Amino acid sequence: MEDETTLQQLRSKATEFLLREDWNESIKAYTRFITLCQIQISKTHQQSDLLKLQKSLCLSLSNRAEARFRLREFEEALKDCEEALQIDNSHFKTLICKGKILLNLNRYSLALDCFKGVLVLESKCNNGNNVEMLNGFIEKCKKLDYLSRTGNFDVSNWVSSGFSGKCPELAEFVGNVEIKRSEISGRGLFSTKNFDVGNLILVTKAVATERCILPKCSNGELGEDAQLVMWKNFIDKVYESATKCPKICHLISKLSIGENEDDLEIPDISLFKPQTEEKFPPNGSLDPEKILSVLDVNSLVEDTTSAKVLGKNSDYYGVGLWLLPSFINHCCSPNARRLHVGDHVLVLASREIKAGEEITFAYYDVLSPFSKRKEMAKTWGFQCECKRCKYEKEMQSKPEIGDIEVGLERGVDVGSAIFRLEECMRRWVVRGKEKGYFRASFWKAISEAYESEKTVRRWGRKIPALEPIVDSLVETVGSDERVVKVLIRKLKKSKCGFGEMERAIKLGRGVYGKVVKKQAMRLLLELGAHE
């Protein structure tokens, strides 16, 4: 009798917390109730009392699952659902909760099966009030399941609407890639099939992101205090995600801390695929220092020079951690780019990628000279070992390159600098990719020259036309928004024809991917040209 009163009190307290949406307290109260209830069940022999207790236990497990779901403790919530369903395998509330958890864990097809099962139950037992809600979930699961299998994304409507409303729903997707030992450093991501320009390589949701709006009047950089606050919030969020999810915790432990990379284990790509059901060991104690080092080496900034952030302007600053992209090495002549849509990062081919090639993207601006890139790599804590850097390091011994750089710093005419650079390349018989390397290093001067009518008039015949320069740049560093922008502005001035716009759209694919259809692409290119 006494036990029964305690049980009743505990249950009402837990329900009260649940209704007040105080999830933490309701979990505590339900946990106490569940333990007591289980003890009571083991002592009860009368069938009717047993049934009553089991019903209470099932409901409490279901409610604790809901509270855990709201706190994004998905794995624990799923365990509660399974336990509740062992008592009553057609418990409506639990089945809905289970479906929502599976959806959040990216197990789209399992979530679909779950909701389909509930729909059958609904038509048999209930009055059909939930059919609309269930059909909504079923449609969502079908769509995400399809996207995660095919990578057939299309954000065109969102782009065409000027990014109004919520950003489109994306599913995680892993294309034909594997993790292997890299010649650049440690492990890298490699293609197992050819990728065409603009093809999607992978889509991943962030473990955590932190964003802020840059102060309007400053030089565009965040103050030290603001940076510290952002960084602290970001670390807390990553730590929280890792604590709640064994999979995230396990995968974070596989990431590099920038030391002895060649000795690191090579994880199987299947661990990163959205629909995997692999069991991960329960969270050991998380080492905060290791998490800090992991974030130092693997966090990515949502900037506009090495990635495109759709739907956000340049006042916006964001940092995040994405697991599979953390295996992608930097290269100063990268073949892939990042496109940020909400918390998802889409990695797409910015040039053609052959099967077996390493997939690389830029951690920092590769349209800059060797000396500047060397500095930027230092701030990332490494010395770049890519082919372009090796080549340019050798060529540093030629005094002419240093002279052109010094001249540009002193403000010489950009046309004359390009003229000298092209002359040197002719003399040294620089061809193919290497030509693109130099041009990418002197992009600042090139863009200034071809954007200035005066310079073009003065140097027009003595320096190459813009189009071959663009071609060699794109062949070397892949498509880049700034290169496409300069080309479009020129095409606009010369009132280009259909063919030229087609060419610009093709280049646009290397920046925005095939996830943007022609009409929306035209809009993006127009917007870019006006910036």
DSSP symbol at 319: E
Cβ proximity to ligand SAM, 258 vs 407, nearer residue: 258
Q: Which amino acid is at 179?
A: I
Q: How far is the CB of 364 from ligand SAM (least distance, A)?
A: 10
Task: Say whether residue 490 binds ligand SAM (CB under 6 A).
Answer: no
Nearer to ligand SAM, 258 or 342 (CB): 258
Backbone φ and ψ for 127, nearest 5 degrees, come out as: -95, 15
Q: Is 41 helix (H, G, I), strand (E, B) or coil?
A: helix
Q: What is the rounded distance in angstroms from the CA atom of residue 217 to the CA atom of residue 231?
A: 22
What is the footprint of ligand SAM within residues 367-396 (CB under 6 A)? 380-382, 384-386
Nearer CB in complex with ligand SAM: 325/510: 325
Closer Cβ to ligand SAM, 186 or 464, answer by number: 186
Please report how close the Cβ of residue 275 comes to ligand SAM at its closest, in angstroms.
Answer: 24
Is the CB of 75 or the CB of 261 nearer to ligand SAM? 261
Minimum CB distance to ligand SAM, residue 300 (Å): 8
Q: DSSP character for 85?
A: H
Q: For residues 381 and 258, is the Cβ–Cβ distance under 8 A? A: yes
The residue count for binding ligand SAM (CB under 6 A) is 22
**Could you say whether residue 297 binds ligand SAM (CB under 6 A)?**
yes
Cβ proximity to ligand SAM, 295 vs 404, nearer residue: 295
Residues 324 and 346 sit within 8 Å (Cβ to Cβ): no
**According to CB under 6 A, which one of 83, 93, 186, 222 is a site residue for ligand SAM?**
186
Contacts of 509 (CB under 8 A, 6+ apart): 197, 198, 479, 521
* Structure tokens given for 394: 């050798």
CA separation, residue 269 to residues 179, 190, 280 (Å): 6, 11, 15
Rounded to a whole number of angstroms, the minimum distance from the CB of residue 336 to ligand SAM is 13
User: Which residues neighbour 166 within 8 Å (Cβ) at sequence distance 6 or greater?
Assistant: none
CB of 267 to ligand SAM, least distance (A): 10
Least distance (Å) between residue 388 CB and ligand SAM: 10
Q: Does position 30 bind ligand SAM by CB under 6 A?
A: no
What is d(CA 449, CA 453) in angstroms, rounded to the nearest whole number? 8
Site for ligand SAM in 302-331 (CB under 6 A): 326-327, 329-331
Among residues 240, 127, 265, the alpha carbon closest in space to that of 187 is found at 265
Shortest Å, Cβ 254 to ligand SAM: 8
Q: Is 288 in the site for ligand SAM (CB under 6 A)?
A: no
Scanning 150-158, 218-226, 257-265, 441-449 for contacts with ligand SAM by CB under 6 A, the matching segment is: 257-265
Binding-site member from 75, 172, 261, 358 for ligand SAM (CB under 6 A): 261
264 binding ligand SAM? (CB under 6 A): yes
| Closer of 179 and 504 to ligand SAM (Cβ) | 179
Q: Does 343 bind ligand SAM (CB under 6 A)?
A: no
Which residue's CB is nearer to ligand SAM, number 252 or number 491?
Answer: 252
> Hunting for tokens 């905060």 — which residue is that?
288
Q: From edge to edge, which strands make up the β-sheet containing 336-341?
A: 173-174, 200-205, 344-349, 336-341, 307-309
Please give the full DSSP string across 435-501, using - where no structure is assigned.
HHHHHHHTHHHHHHHHH-HHHHHHHTTTS--HHHHHHHHHHHH---HHHHHHHHHHHHHTT--HHHH
Candidates 63, 54, 110, 46; CA nearest to 86 is 54
What is the nearest approach in angstroms of ligand SAM to the Cβ of residue 434?
A: 18
Nearer to ligand SAM, 264 or 376 (CB): 264
Smallest distance from ligand SAM to CB 298, Å: 5
37 is a site residue for ligand SAM (CB under 6 A): no
Complex with ligand SAM: residue 252 or 470, whichever CB lies closer:
252
Which of 356, 306, 310 shows the shortest CA–CA distance to 331? 306
Q: How far apart are CA 423 and CA 439, in angstroms?
A: 12
Q: Residue 346 CB, nearest distance to ligand SAM (Å)?
A: 17
**Position with the least CB separation from ligand SAM:** 186
Give the integer Cα–Cα distance in Å for 417 and 408.
7
Taking the least distance from each CB to ligand SAM, the nearer of 249 and 520 is 249
Does 113 participate in binding ligand SAM (rule CB under 6 A)?
no
For ligand SAM, which is the closer residue by CB, 331 or 401? Answer: 331
Place of tokens 């954007």: 451
Residue 293 is a binding residue for ligand SAM (CB under 6 A): no
Q: Please choose, out of 77-85, 146-154, 184-192, 304-312, the segment that lies near ligand SAM by the rule CB under 6 A.
A: 184-192
- 273, 203 contact by CB (below 8 A): no
Say how far apart CA 515 and CA 168 lie, in whole Å: 11
Where along the sequence are the contacts to ligand SAM (CB under 6 A)? Answer: 184-188, 256, 258, 261, 264, 297-298, 326-327, 329-331, 380-382, 384-386
